Chain A
Amino acid sequence: MSDVQKPDTEKATTGTGAAAGSAGADEKFLSVRDLRIHFDTDDGLVKSVDGVSFDLKAGQTLGIVGESGSGKSVTSLGIMGLHNSERARISGEIWLDGEELIGAGTERVRKLRGQKMAMIFQDPLSALHPYYSIGAQIVEAYRVHNAVDKKTAKKRAVEMLDRVGIPEPARRYDDYPHQFSGGMRQRAMIAMALVNNPQLLIADEPTTALDVTVQAQILDLIRDLQKEFHSAVVIITHDLGVVAEIADELLVMYAGRCIERGSAEKVFYRPQHPYTWGLLGSMPRIDREQTDRLVPVKGTPPSLINVPSGCAFHPRCPYADVPKDNITRTERPELRQITDGHFSACHMTPAERERIWTEEIAPKL
């Protein structure tokens, strides 16, 4: 890693140094393989993430969707190396620009964090310290990774505030978080996360706490910044509308597992898993004719301590009896490729899925 970055002139910086075979723009920048993150608790072992794999190229956006408790945040914190190693049992591989992170030391991961990869959270107050001015915090984030004097760092911070759309950035530099509105805090946190031009940005429910008009502003901002810096973005949300706005690739999680993965077009237009069908049927859509009735997914999300046997979705799946020999209840379905780059974890045969999709699901969506 070069110690000093020249943010003004940089575009897509590719990593140098430590990692051999640094990824070019067209290759996988982030590669997650069979990630498992389990927690020991008094109630038992919580399998928050249980075998998740995906790849992401520079300049691309991956959306991770799923209900609350499906393991989205635990996955993202895992990539950032933010789990307490005493409590979390982590296995699998996380490759960032050719460098494996799970096996790397905590020091190394800390160095990468904030520099090569950065994260924004749902609640900006969890990332911003109430006692320091917004400007001071951005300066701090910059100086940790860049040996520059205060003046240079301040200039950079004001520039970032301007870039994320804070009006009168030089004046607002000295404001404290409580003096900012919710949308402005979110912008300030984005400014802080992006101050070192990270090549990977993970945004965990970045707009969930915001109003739609502000959400539109923030999504727009993330999209613009990504274009400008050609970074890889992982956006985590429970809102299918938000991912459709911004994601190229989609990963649907259920009970700590990836149950469907593919391009946004494929997953939205040709979803291949009953849970994805359920999610799409549940949401009222403003872009379609008014429907009389929503089609909810029955039942409630499963416990991650006693994950249902076989397919974790089977207690709620209307098609659990379709695959032969009750296999749905005994064997965990693997994530299988259906068409190029489109994967689904379901025991139904492609023909069975196709029939149900065309006859029962598509007409109702």
Chain B
Amino acid sequence: MTDLSKEIPEQGAGQGPDGADGPAPEPLLKVTGLVKHFPITKGVLKRKVGAVQAVDGLTFDVRPGETLGVVGESGCGKSTMGRLITRLLEPTGGKVEFEGRDITHLSTGAMRPMRRDVQMIFQDPYGSLNPRHTIGGIVGTPFKLQGIQPEGGVKKEVQRLLELVGLSPEHYNRYPHEFSGGQRQRIGIARALALNPKLVVADEPVSALDVSIQAQVVNLLDDLQKELGLTYVIIAHDLSVIRHVSDRIAVMYLGKIVELADRTSLYESPKHPYTKALLSAVPVPDPSRRGGKSDRILLKGDVPSPIKPPSGCRFHTRCWKATEVCRTTEPPLIQLAPGHQAACHHPENVPDQSAQTAAVTGGASEAGTTK
């Protein structure tokens, strides 16, 4: 389905290096039908009684130099997706290709060289740094793991990295507890950059930080991308942050991508009702809107369990537009406008899709309705 997107000229919205003319470049990362189910077992025999369908069929590309933002509510599978594409988790199904090479099931050994190219930054600046190691030790770990001796020695290189992320080289011998949350996040970023990666997957890199510090780290990520030509996948639940940092954005709901679009297109003209509801729920720092329930879409209830996701469109239990076809037939993620895909039978801002989408899926009920 995503192949459609190849015919679409680049949308000028992002400042990615590929914004110029010519065909879209080869994706750096290509993900097709990615699935991760965590088995639920019971009793001493570990009998399998079900599965958490954390990620259930994701298809998307990440283009060189761009930032792909991934948003969605808690538990929708963002972190699982991040850990799958960095191969910290083994996929249950689907395919992950990096620079054209299938890395879906590479062994740990075969993955090692690849690890240099793909790095991850974690949400929790407290838990992700070993409290007993010095900053120098932490940032220098990747060299040790990869058996690499940088020019001028590890210490010099680590100090260069510390400066790069706005810390002082003198911090080399200090310990994580001596640093604030924002500084710790910088340490995590320095470590991720040690091996000169091509792709950095950042899982909620600023969620744990105060707004003033969050802005420092957002700007730092931005500077580093420009300076080092990095490609980012940034996972976050904050739609204001995601809009600021991303060129393109994937919206996830219960293990699926429900909408994937250029930033401007997504925020100005969301197609999926869930995206529309999410955007309308963002609190805006403008008191003139106070109490104005007018344009706010209040969704009913909570996100259903990924153990037993709803049939058809997974959003139908909370969607105000749901019809019979939504309950029975899963809408495929299809192109509804240039650079804009959504999975919905009755999308916003474009003609109704129920006839077409039902035809595409041929009414076949997809996996994930029972078990």
Contacts and interface: CB of A to CB of B under 8 A. Distances in A.
Interface of A: 67-68, 167, 181-184, 211-217, 219-220, 223, 238-247, 264-265, 268-269, 278-287, 290-291, 293-298, 300-301
Contacts of B47: none
12 contacts: A181-B302, A211-B73, A216-B280, A216-B296, A217-B298, A241-B282, A246-B290, A268-B287, A281-B215, A282-B214, A283-B240, A296-B216
Given A264-B290, A268-B285, A301-B210, 16 more contacts: A183-B302, A211-B74, A217-B298, A220-B293, A239-B283, A241-B284, A242-B283, A244-B283, A244-B285, A244-B290, A284-B218, A286-B282, A293-B219, A293-B222, A297-B215, A298-B216
B155 interface: no
A244 B286 contact: yes
Contacts of B290: 244-247, 264
A184 B302 contact: yes
Contact of A219 (B219, B239, B283): B283
Counting contact residues on chain B (CB < 8 A from A), the size range is: 35 or more
Taking chain B's interface residues, is the majority helix, strand, or loop, or is none over half, making it mixed?
helix
8 A-B pairs with the lowest CB-CB distances in the bound complex, closest first: A241-B283, A296-B215, A297-B212, A284-B244, A282-B215, A294-B215, A264-B287, A211-B73
Contacts of A182: 74, 302
Contact of B243 (A214, A264, A269, A290): A290
A182 B73 CA distance: 12
B239 A212 contact: yes
B301 interface: yes
Contacts of A242: 283
B240 to A, nearest CB: 4
A221 to B, nearest CB: 10
A304 B263 CA distance: 41
B212 A213 contact: no
A265 B302 contact: no
A279 B211 contact: yes
Instruction: Name, among B237, B267, B287, B302, the residue most crowded by chain A CB atoms within 10 Å (CB to CB).
Output: B287
Given A213-B277, A219-B283, A67 B240 contact: no
A294 B244 contact: yes
B30 to A, nearest CB: 28
B218 A294 contact: yes
A283 B283 CA distance: 12
Contacts of A68: 210
Taking chain A's interface residues, is the majority helix, strand, or loop, or is none over half, making it mixed?
helix
A300 B180 contact: yes
B287 A286 contact: no
Contacts of B218: 284, 294
Nearest to B303: A211
Instruction: Name, among B218, B279, B302, the residue most crowded by chain A CB atoms within 10 Å (CB to CB).
Output: B302
B182 interface: yes
A286 B243 contact: yes
B114 interface: no
Contacts of A239: 211, 283
Contact of A284 (B243, B281, B289): B243
A318 to B, nearest CB: 13
Contact of B299 (A213, A245, A282, A297): A213
B303 A268 contact: no
A244 B74 contact: no
Contacts of A67: 210-213
A362 to B, nearest CB: 14
Contacts, number: 139
B264 to A, nearest CB: 8
B215 A286 contact: no
B210 A238 contact: yes
A300 B283 contact: no
A167 B318 CA distance: 14
Nearest to A70: B210
A240 B291 contact: no
Given A183-B302, A211-B73, A301-B210, A244 B244 contact: no
Contacts of B277: 213
Interface string B255-291: 0000000011001000000000111111111111111
Instruction: Name, among A217, A281, A291, A296, the residue most crowded by chain B CB atoms within 10 Å (CB to CB).
Output: A296
Given A296-B212, A300-B182, A245 B283 contact: yes
Contacts of B289: 244-245
B284 A286 contact: yes
A285 B303 CA distance: 26
Nearest to A297: B212
A177 B293 CA distance: 30
Contacts of B134: none
A265 B287 contact: yes
Contacts of B303: 211
Interface string B123-153: 0000000000000000000000000000000
B215 A214 contact: no
Given A244-B287, A245-B290, A213 B281 contact: yes
A283 B285 contact: yes
Contact of B285 (A181, A212, A265, A280): A280
Contacts of A244: 283-287, 289-290
B183 interface: yes
Interface string B191-221: 0000000000000000000111111101100
B211 A240 contact: yes
Contacts of A214: 73, 302
Contacts of B237: 211-212
B51 interface: no
A286 B239 contact: yes
Nearest to B13: A290
B304 to A, nearest CB: 10
Contact of B241 (A183, A284, A301): A284
A287 B244 CA distance: 12
Interface string B296-318: 10110111000000000000000
Nearest to A183: B302
Contact of B183 (A212, A264, A285, A300): A300
Contact of A283 (B215, B281, B298, B299): B215
Given A181-B302, A300-B183, A282 B211 contact: yes
Nearest to B216: A296
B248 to A, nearest CB: 14
A286 B279 contact: yes
Contacts of A281: 215
B221 to A, nearest CB: 11
Instruction: Name, among B210, B219, B282, the residue most crowded by chain A CB atoms within 10 Å (CB to CB).
Output: B210
A291 B245 CA distance: 10
